[in-house]
Chain A
Amino acid sequence: MSTATQDPALAAAAARSQPRRRRRTLPPMTPKLAVGLAITIVIAGFGAVGPLLVGSPSEVRNIGMTPPSAEFWLGTTQTGQDVFAQLAHATRGSLLIGLVVGILTLLLSSFFGVVGAFAGGWTDEAFSLFTNVMLVIPGLPLVIVISSYVTEKSVWMVAVVLAITSWAGSARVLRGFTLSVRNRDYVLASRVSGESSWRILTVEILPNLVPLLASQVVFAVIFAILGEAGLSFLGLGATGSFTWGTMLYYAQNGLALRLGAWWWFVPPGLMLAVFGAALALINFAIDSIINPKLRDGTREQRKRWRMTKEQLRESEEEVV
């Protein structure tokens, strides 16, 4: 575009439109979002880099159950394994499961939810029937059954099982929203312009679904990491690899609690809780884009408008 550089008005308009675009697609940077993102990045970084820096997590030594020291930052297990090294590998394992489940949920739920609702007719009927069937299949028992049948389970296997039992809820949410967007006038208008169905779906509808998709994926990741921890704690998790859940399982088996070896079970438990909380914080921020009502008119916001105490109380009564 040669005109852009010549015409100062156009250049100015272009410059102004740039930050506008960003502001609309990304959630506003609130303290909640900042904290959530910071924690997620730190933990993800630890999971990515940590395993490269520590020694073997399974190496057995003859110094069992030592509390944290300069050599072993988080002490050792009953069999003298380095808890810090285990934590690094477990973080990677758990995040890997979260990532795989997140991606699979994204693909499955947007295929069965968005494509079905957009296509309409029999495709929609079939897809939504399938989704509903998947939804009422009780997830945890199915996972337990599958897990107890397959004896050699890799992390991938566990992730796939978790994804299969968890995408249906997201698909339903997405279907509902797609149905409402599909009949909006701007979609009809682009059909009247002669856009192909594929372009209408990807260019006109999908961008409006992005916040919802993101929040569904974040939720799926939380579910997967917690679910995997639960499975592993029951002894049904991945064999031969480390996750936060398997660490807790071995700590439980090694009577860490009874022996007061807090350095063994507190770190994985804390990681689980903190990571789950961080993702939940991110989800709050995304929610406020999807549903502006959550953002406006909160007590916090009204305080910023410098309302007096009386006005605050009044407006609160109005809302209720």
Chain B
Amino acid sequence: MTTLELRDVVKEYRLRSGFRHSVLRAVDDVSFTLEPGRTTALVGQSGSGKSTVAKLLLRLERPTSGRILLDGRDLPRRGAAGHAYRGIVQMVFQDPFASLNPYHTVAHHLARPVTLHHPELGRTAVLDRIHELLARVRLDPVEEFAARRPHELSGGQRQRVAIARALAPGPGILIADEPVSMLDVSIRLGVLNLLAELQRQEHLGVLYITHDLATARHFSDEILVMYRGSVVERGPADDVILDPQHEYTKLLRAAAPDPERRLRELAGP
């Protein structure tokens, strides 16, 4: 059982241009909690700081101020606890064409996180785990997919590999940064359904970052709306979508096609 909490987190980037520099507040005083078994959606326009929040949670960036708490304690940065954190909080990247190393096989991509976080497993146990992971993201026949390289897979298959890799260490929190925006419309729903199913099975806390209000409503329990770095609206998914309070959310709602119709469209004919 893992909870991950962001408390009053601020992230500033210093932009240098010549001798002067300006400060860009990418994340401005954001607080929320990811809990096991719940999906939180983070929506907002491009550049509103969604990916920066993901990077902060993944410890790829340090917050300028504020705290990030794992089960109520400050994030471990170094040592064994710091390493274990890598196994607890995992990420599915946006672009499946960029997130897999063209040089390595699918098996390599899955074997590394498994052996890193379960060094006690022997070779055959790791192999079994790889096959199990591939089966769970429905890449059958597993042996054949394990031997392939990224360029021999379709976009959807790659994203399934990326999901399997994120699940490999057995995480408690999964961050998905626009996991389907680079995929063809016809396979988006399949990948999202797979994510939702895995989340239920593993009782994961999920942060689902997206532009798509319809899928945000359908797949998440809570929605946070970000606007220029700060969270301007939050609440249960249906409330935020059906009864938006903040100007920006209303705008977003008006710009999006009818959520119900959109979901039917995604489901296909």
Contact = CB atoms under 8 A, between A and B. Distances in A.
The answer to whether A binds B is yes
Contacts of B124: 1-3
Interface in B77-107: 83, 86-87, 90-91, 93-95, 98-105
Given A17-B105, A184-B98, A192 B86 contact: yes
A73 interface: no
A208 B116 contact: no
B116 A192 contact: no
A194 B87 contact: yes
Which one of A7, A184, A189, A190 has the highest number of Cβ atoms from chain B below 10 Å of its Cβ?
A: A189
Interface stretch (A8-16, A124-132, A267-275): A8-16
A191 B60 contact: yes
B246 interface: no
Interface stretch (B139-147, B186-194, B206-214): B139-147
Given A185-B99, A186-B99, A208-B103, A193 B165 contact: yes
Contacts of B169: 193-194
Contacts of B99: 185-186, 188-189
A59 to B, nearest CB: 54
Would you call the interface of chain A mostly helix, strand, loop, or mixed?
helix
Interface in A212-236: none
Given A193-B169, A194-B116, A14 B98 contact: no
A193 B100 contact: no
Contact of B112 (A13, A195, A207, A208): A195
Contacts, number: 75
B58 A204 contact: no
B105 to A, nearest CB: 7
Which of B98, B101, B127, B148 is the most central at the interface, judged by chain A CB atoms within 10 Å of its CB? Answer: B101
Contacts of A190: 101, 112
Contacts of A10: 143
Contacts of B261: none
Nearest to B82: A194
Interface residues on A, range: 20 to 34
A164 B18 CA distance: 33
A1 B91 contact: no
B117 interface: yes
A31 to B, nearest CB: 26
Nearest to A189: B99
B95 to A, nearest CB: 6
Nearest to B87: A194
B113 interface: yes
Contacts of A7: 143
A204 to B, nearest CB: 6
A258 interface: no
Given A185-B93, A192-B86, A204 B101 contact: yes
Can you list the 5 inter-chain pairs with the closest CB atoms, starting with the nearest? A194-B86, A185-B99, A185-B98, A10-B143, A193-B113
Interface of A: 1-3, 7, 9-10, 13-14, 16-17, 20, 24, 184-186, 188-195, 204, 207-208
Given A185-B95, A194-B86, 16 more contacts: A1-B127, A9-B144, A13-B146, A185-B99, A186-B99, A190-B101, A191-B60, A192-B58, A192-B86, A193-B113, A193-B116, A194-B113, A194-B117, A194-B169, A208-B102, A208-B103
17 contacts: A1-B127, A13-B146, A13-B147, A17-B105, A24-B103, A24-B149, A184-B98, A188-B93, A189-B91, A191-B60, A192-B60, A193-B86, A193-B112, A193-B165, A194-B87, A194-B116, A195-B112
